Amino acid sequence: MTMPDERTFERGSGANPTVDDAAWMILGPALRGETSPVLRTDPTWTREAARTLRELITGENADTGPRKFVTKLHDQLANASNAVIALAAELLCVQVLPLSNITPETKRTRVNTVLSWATPPLRLPETVDEGLAAGGTFHGGAGFNIRIWQQVVWLTYFVEEWWGAPPEERDRALLDPWAFRDLVDRVQGGWEPAMRTSLLALVWPGYFDSVVKDADRQRIRAAFAHHLPTGDGSGASDIDYDLWRIRQAIQEVGQPRVDWYAEPYVSAWGGPPFARKVGEGRRAWLVRTGQGGAQLGQRWRNDGFVSVPATNLRMDLEHATESSIRDAVDTGYPHLDYAQRLQLTQADQAFVLRMGVDDLVLAISDESAHLGVVSGETSWAEQAGSRLRRAVEWIPDSIAKSDLPEPVPGMLDKQGDVVDLTNALDALAALAREITDTAEDAYAVDDQPTPQRPLALSIPPVTDNLVADLHMPRDVLQEWLDVLSDRRQLVFYGPPGTGKTFVAEALGRHIVGSDTNQLRTVQFHPSYAYEDFFEGLRPAVENGNVTYQVVPGPLRTLVAEATTPGNESRPYVLVIDEMNRANLAKVFGELYYLLEYRDQSISLQYSSDTDFRLPKNLFIIGTMNTLDRSISMVDAAIRRRFPFVELHPAVEPVSEVLSAYLERQGSDDRRARLLDTLNAGIDERDLQIGPSYLMKSSARDESGLERIWKYDILPLLDDHFYGVRTPEQIRAQFGLDALLARIGGVPVGPVDSVLDSKVAVELAPAMGDEEPDGS
C-alpha cells in the first residue's frame, strides 16, 4: 500500500471521544512504559507482570468450573502483587470500555472489584471512570461477555509481544497505525479477532472502526467497494486499510463520524445481522449432533461452530429460499422417502433461513447441556458430517441436563436435527446470564427488559385462615396440598353438599395468594367439548367474508398466561366443577397425555405447527358429584391421571365439618345431630346429604331451616327415592318435623326454640325399621 508521510498520522477521533480519552489514559502510559495511572508508582504493562498474570489464570491454575469470572479471578489473584492486580484491572478496562451492551454499573463494578483486592485498595482515575459510564462505541454481542477470560489472556500476550519488539519498532507503531496493526497481528497464544479489532480502534480511533464482526466488515467493504481507488490491488488483501479509505471517501467534513450501523449506511450493506426484520425477534434453537454424537459436539465447542450434516446438499446460500432448499433436498436425497426428505428440508430451512446471529443455541451431549450464541451466517465447510455451519460463541461452562429450566425439558423430545426452542427463549437467556459473569447484560436484547430466571415454584403451607375457613384438620389439608405439589392435579368426589367446589376454590385461592386472576373456574356439562375447553374453530367476519379462526378456550388461555415471561414462578389454578357430567375423553382429547406426562409436549389438533405442554405452574383441581354419575363409570384414563379424594358425609374430615363449624359459631351440635339422623336413614351411600346445606346462615332460624328442607333437601330425596317411596312416605321419615322428633324434640341452633311447638307429632316405627313397599 502507499503510505502517507508518518508526520501526518494523528490518533484522530473515534465514535465516542470520552471512551477514547479513557482508553488512552491507560494505553498511552502502558505503551510508552510510563507509570500506571492506576498503580501510580510503577509501570504495570511489563512482560513480567503479563506473564505472571497469565500463569495465575491459565494452565494448572485455570478454573473451568461453573463459577463466575470475577469470582474465579479473586481466588487466582489471592497472592498476587499490586502491580499484577492493577494490570488485571487495566486489561479489564480495555476489554469493557467500548462495549455499549454492558451497563455502566456493571463495568464499574467489575473493574473496581478487582482494584479492591490490592493492599491498600486502588482506584480508577476520574477520566477512566467517566469513560466506563460513557455508553461505549459498539455492541459486543455475546462474544465479549462469554470470552472475557480468553480476551484478557490474549491481551497479556499482546503486552509481551509489545515489549519484546525492538524499541524502534514500538516507536514507529506509536506514530503509524499500520505499523501498530502489523505488530498486533504477530501476537501469539490464540487468535481473538474481535479483541484485536477493538484494541486497534482504541489505540488508533481515527483509522480503525469499531466493527469487530468479520462478516460485517466484509459486507461493508463489498457494499462500498466502488469508493476504493482502482488498480492498486489492495481491495482484497487489506480490509482494515480498505475500510479506512472507504470512510475517508464518504466522510463529510464537519459531519459526525460515519456509523456503519446507522442509516443510510446500514441498509446499503444489509446489516447488522442481529437487527431483525420487522416482526422478527430473537430465537432459541436445539441443534442435535445426530450420528456425529459426543465427538461432534466437542468439535463444535472447540472450534466455535454448530452444524447440520448437509451431506448431499448443493445450493447457493446467498440466494437460498424455502423452495430452493426443498428442491436441493429432493435432488440430493432421492433415495429417502417423502417423510425423511421433509424432515431434512425443515431442518435445513430453519438452519439457513430462520436461525440468525445473536440467537441462542442449545446442544445436548449425554447428560450435559451446552449453551452458545450464534455469531455468524451460514457457510460451507467440506468436512463430512458437518458441511453446513454457523459460527457460535459457546459459553465455557456446561450445566447438567436435569438442571435445564422450564419449559425446556418438555421440548427436548421434539423431532428433528434443528428444533425451535423460542418458547423457552427467556428461560434459556436467564440461564445464560446465570452461568456467565454479566448477569444483567450478557444476553439482553436492545432496549428490552431483561427477564429473570424463574424462581422455584412452591405451594405455601396450610395457614390458620385456611383451617378456619374449611373447618378441617390442618394435617389433612396439608396432605392435599402436598399431593397437588407432587402431581399438579387432584379431584374431589362425593355426594352433594360435601363442599367439593368450596374446598377446591379455597385451596386454589390459597395457592395463588392475593392475585385471584390466577384462579379460574369452569363447569363441565353434557354438551361441553374439546373446542369449548381448549381451542376450536370459530366463525369470524373479515371484510364482509366469513372466515374461521382458532379461538382459545379457558385452558389454553390460562396456560398462555402461566407461560408468559415473568409468570413462570407464579402459580395458576384451574378448577373444573362437575367434571364427570361431560364426556371427558371428548373434552380432553390429546391432552390426556400431558396430564400424565407434564414434562412432555404434543402437537395440537387445531394448531399442529405448535408444540404444546402443560406448565408446571398450572394446577388443576376437579370436582365430581357421585349423585350425577358414579366415578366407577368415569373414563379409566382420567382415574389414572388424577389422584382422587373422597369427600363423604360419613367419612372424616367431612363428618366433623358441621360440628367444627357450629362450635366456631358458638352454636350447639343439634344441627349436626339432625344431619346424622337424616343420613342414617339413607341406605345408599352416594345419596347421603353433605353438611354444607346446614352451614348456611339461614339455617340458624326456624324459617330458614324450613326453606332449606323444603327447597333443597326434600327435592333431592324425592329424586333419590323416585318410584320407591311416595312423597308422603319420604316426608314422614325425612321431614324436618319428623327428624326433630327422632332426636328428642330438641330445638336446633341458638334461636330454634320456636320449633318446639311444631315437634308434637307421634312418629313410628323408628327410622330404619320401615320397609319400602315397592310402589
List, for residues 7-18, the tens digit of each pLDDT value. 457 888 888 999
Q: Does residue 533 sit in the same domain as residue 636?
A: yes
pTM for the full model? Answer: 0.56
- Answer yes or no: is 448 within a domain: no
Q: Are residues 186 and 235 in the same domain?
A: no
Does 458 map to a domain? no
Give yes or no for residue 446 having a pLDDT over 50.
no
Which of 47-56, 111-120, 271-280, 304-313 shows the lowest per-residue confidence on average (mean pLDDT)? Answer: 271-280
Please report the pLDDT score of residue 190 as a whole number: 66
User: Looking at the predicted structure, is the pLDDT value of residue 771 above 80?
Assistant: no
pLDDT at residue number 191: 76
Query: For residues 162 and 49, what is the distance between their CA atoms, to the nearest angstrom?
Result: 13
Q: Examine the domain organization and report whether 640 and 718 are in the same domain.
A: no
Task: Looking at the structure, tell me whether residues 41 and 176 fall in a common domain.
Answer: yes
In terms of domains, do 249 and 339 share one? no
Structural domain count of the chain: 5
Average pLDDT taken over every residue of the chain:
84
Q: Please tell me which residue, 612 or 775, carries the higher pLDDT value.
A: 612
pLDDT at 434 over 90: no
Residue 130 has pLDDT above 50, yes or no: yes
What is the rounded CA–CA span in Å between residue 110 and residue 89?
A: 8
- CA-nearest of 247, 214, 212 to 228 is 247
Look at residue 463 in the predicted model and tell me its pLDDT: 94
Q: H or E segment at 630?
A: none
DSSP character string of 507-544: HHHHHHTT-GGGEEEEE--TT--HHHHTEEEEEEEETT
What CATH number is attached to the domain comprising 332?
3.10.590
Same domain, 578 and 661: no
Q: If pLDDT is split at 50, 70 and 90, which confidence band does 774 have? A: very low
Q: Is the pLDDT of residue 695 over 50?
A: yes
More confident residue, 158 or 5: 158
Residue 5 in domain: no
For 644, counting Cβ atoms within 10 Å of its Cβ (0-12 exposed, 13-18 middle, 19+ buried), the class is middle
Confidence of residue 565 (pLDDT cuts 50, 70, 90): low
Q: Give me the pLDDT at residue 537, please.
A: 85
pLDDT given for residue 78 in this prediction: 93
pLDDT at 668: 79
Task: Please tell me whether residues 135 and 47 are part of one structural domain.
Answer: yes
pLDDT(384) > 60: yes
For position 96, what pLDDT does the model report? 94
CA angle 151, 157, 163 (to 5 degrees): 135
* Shared domain check, 670 and 548: no
Question: Which residues, other chains included, contact 121 with Cβ-Cβ below 8 Å and sequence gap of 6+?
Answer: 115
Task: Choose among 262, 135, 258: nearest CA to 208.
Answer: 258
Grid-cell match 459486507, residue found = 219
The verdict on residue 573 lying in a domain is yes
Provide CB contacts within 8 A for 93, sequence distance 6+: 22, 23, 26, 111, 124, 128, 132
Domain-terminating residue out of 271, 303, 318: 271
Does 390 lie in the same domain as 329?
Answer: yes
Can you tell me the mean pLDDT for 562-584?
87
Nearest to 210 by CA among 13, 463, 407, 505: 13
Query: CA 606 to CA 507: how far, in whole Å?
Result: 33
pLDDT at 254: 80
457 assigned to some structural domain: no
CA gap 248, 20 in Å, rounded: 19
Among 253-267, 317-331, 584-598, the range with the most confident prediction by mean pLDDT is 317-331
Domain identity same for 424 and 312:
yes
Task: Please report the pLDDT score of residue 757 as a whole number.
Answer: 35
161 and 34, same domain (yes or no): yes
Whether residue 658 sits in one domain with residue 611: no
- Please, which pLDDT band fits residue 457 given cuts at 50, 70 and 90? confident
How many other β-carbons are positioned within 10 Å of the β-carbon of residue 394? Answer: 23
Residue 3 has pLDDT above 60, yes or no: no
* Residue 770 maps to a domain: no
User: What is the span of the domain harbouring residue 62?
Assistant: 14-190
Please check the confidence at residue 439 and state whether its pLDDT lies above 70.
Answer: no
pLDDT given for residue 171 in this prediction: 95
**763 lies in some domain:** no
CB 343 within 8 A of CB 330: no
| Residue 477 covered by a domain | no
Which position has the higher pLDDT, 102 or 40? 40
